[in-house]
Amino acid sequence: MTKLSADKNTPPVPYYVLKSYYNKNHVAYIPVEKHEVILRDVIDAEEAARAYEELKKEYESDTDYVPDEHRIGEIAFVMKMTPDELKAGAGAGTGEDETEDTAV
């Protein structure tokens, strides 16, 4: 938490400070009182496992599937993986029509 004010003549107001785990430059300030932002609970390990299985099914049915990167980051964090490890384990990039670039 921190206290911020609009100018030197305004008393400071308490704010929650939320920092992104994946992008350290991304910071959100949410007023403690009278805020209209709805925060949802962080997912637990069981929900992350279910979401991971759903992700696998999406990649199986659509080789061009593009997931929500914020959701991927959340699932990966709970499962103690990097987002790239999570996507690779779920089947991202395993389409048959992919070819490897080779420079000549």
Q: Is the pTM of this model over 0.95?
A: no
Greater confidence (70 vs 37) lies with: 70
Residue 98 has pLDDT above 70, yes or no: no
* Rg over CA atoms, the chain: 20
What mean pLDDT is reported for the chain?
84
Domain map (residue ranges) of the chain:
2-31, 45-90
- Confidence at 79, pLDDT banded by 50, 70, 90: very high
Q: Which residues contact 24 (CB under 8 A, 6 or more apart)?
A: none
**Do the Cβ atoms of 19 and 26 come closer than 8 Å?**
yes
Amino acid at 16: Y
In this structure, what token pair is assigned to residue 95? 């389409």
